[in-house]
A = this chain, B = another copy of it.
Amino acid sequence: MEQKIMDFVDTFIEGAGEMGSGLGLNRSVAQLYALLYLSNTPLSLDDMANHLKISKGNVSMNIRILESWNAVRKVWVKGSRKDYYEADLDILKIIVTRLKEGLNRRMSQALSLLQNAEQTIAENNQNGNTKDKEQFKVFQERIDRIKKIHSMTTALLTTISPEKFLMGNL
């Protein structure tokens, strides 16, 4: 294999490292995925550790993060007792799924907070003085905005849910 091409692979992987850190994933996770994404064949933990020059423990931990996202899967290779992995190539699916999960997790937290707030605001609004009432109204309004954003975002993510999205699979 030509040197230039191997360089490309390395540059791609390096780029993926920075890229990934852009939103929420660490270097190793991003690079592991990039390596598998470009690879023709499934790779073993040792293959990956060697190629990326990172420790075996690191690969073991981070590959299982990718597995938990269904971004990679274990495949069985005849005649070897190592674990081999390959990438799920549908990047968009992976991203949308993760966004949905994240949104729900964060929002269920936030929404119960808002629930309490509204409760308290309603109670206080009965007998507060004028100035307090104004403040309550502001809170109420801002909270409503957030709720609206939540429902919009949820709707949006469902709309672009991979199953339904443009022209079948990528």
Q: Which residues of A contact B (CB under 8 A)?
A: 1-2, 4-5, 8, 11-12, 15, 18-19, 22-24, 37-38, 40, 89, 91-92, 102, 106, 109-110, 113, 116-117, 120-121, 124, 128, 132, 134-136, 138-139, 142, 145-146, 148-149, 152, 156, 160, 166, 170
Contact = CB atoms under 8 A, between A and B. Distances in A.
Contacts of A139: 5, 8, 38
Nearest to A4: B120
Contacts of A12: 113, 117
A91 B8 contact: no
Contacts of A160: 156
Nearest to A90: B145
Contacts of A109: 15, 18-19
A69 B106 CA distance: 22
A110 to B, nearest CB: 6
Given A102-B23, A109-B15, A160-B156, A149 B91 contact: yes
27 contacts: A1-B135, A2-B124, A2-B128, A2-B132, A4-B120, A5-B121, A8-B113, A8-B117, A8-B121, A8-B139, A11-B116, A12-B113, A12-B117, A15-B113, A18-B109, A19-B106, A19-B109, A19-B110, A22-B106, A23-B102, A37-B142, A89-B142, A89-B145, A91-B149, A92-B149, A149-B170, A156-B160
